[in-house]
Amino acid sequence: MSNINYIENKDARDLVKARLDTMPRNIKISIGSEGSFSKEELKEHVDKKDSIGEKIVEIDMEFLQALKRGVLYG
């Protein structure tokens, strides 16, 4: 887990929820033994700030940072 506590940042949570809205309704995300989640369920976890919400926000925020560092170019 990153040292930055993104889940406590309301702007980060709102950004992640807005980005989750781009997911089509028929798509679900499998997160290992945690189970499978629709975008609506993931948004609820982000609002609850629980461990699943925390993972989703962490990945999104770290990915945005990685894009800035040029991760797409290998």
5-42 exposure pattern, b = at least 16 Cβ within 10 A, e = fewer: ebbeeeebbebbbeebeeeeeeeebebeeeeebebeeb
Between 49 and 51, name the residue whose CB sits nearer to other proteins.
Answer: 51
Nearest approach in angstroms of CB 37 to other proteins is 10
Among 36, 68, 69, 70, contact with other proteins (rule: CB under 8 A):
36
Residues that bind other proteins in the complex, under the rule CB under 8 A = 19-20, 22-24, 26-36, 55, 59-60, 63, 66, 71-72, 74
